[in-house]
Amino acid sequence: MIYQLGSTLTDAIVLAIISRGDAYGYSISQQVKKVADIKESTLYPVLRRLQQKGYLETYDQPYQGRNRKYYVITEAGKQQYQFYMEEWKKYRMEVEEIMMGGMENEQG
């Protein structure tokens, strides 16, 4: 993708992924990689920041004789995710209006 992902949009995507089910670091990174060309090294700071803000919590679960840390979305995280979604819809419409204005707009 040529469009760059700002830190807000990255936060939103990570929250969205975790809101669909508890996930661990590597699985989150694989899913983020599908939509965005962000470096793996930016994911840890994002997860850390989201935890610090109280949007995510973690728990450990044994997996093949070692610990795996799972990330869970909190109530505050869900609200933030909703907020990000509303903002995204507005933003997307505004961008499309400018980028595709006149093409789709028949009464214009």
Residues binding other proteins (CB under 8 A): 24-27, 29, 39-42, 44-45, 47-49, 52, 66-69
Q: Which two tokens stand for residue 28?
A: 């989150």
- Token pair for residue 45? 């700071």
- How far apart CA 28 and CA 100 sit, in angstroms, is 33
- Closer residue to other proteins, CB minimum distance, 58 or 82: 58
Helix (H) or strand (E) holding 13: helix 7-19
Nearest distance from C-beta of residue 84 to other proteins, angstroms:
18
Cβ at position 44, least distance to other proteins in Å: 5
Least Å from the CB of residue 27 to other proteins: 7
Q: Considering the complex, state which of residue 64 and residue 101 has its C-beta at the smaller distance from other proteins.
A: 64
CB-count exposure of residue 22 (10 Å: 0-12, 13-18, 19+): middle
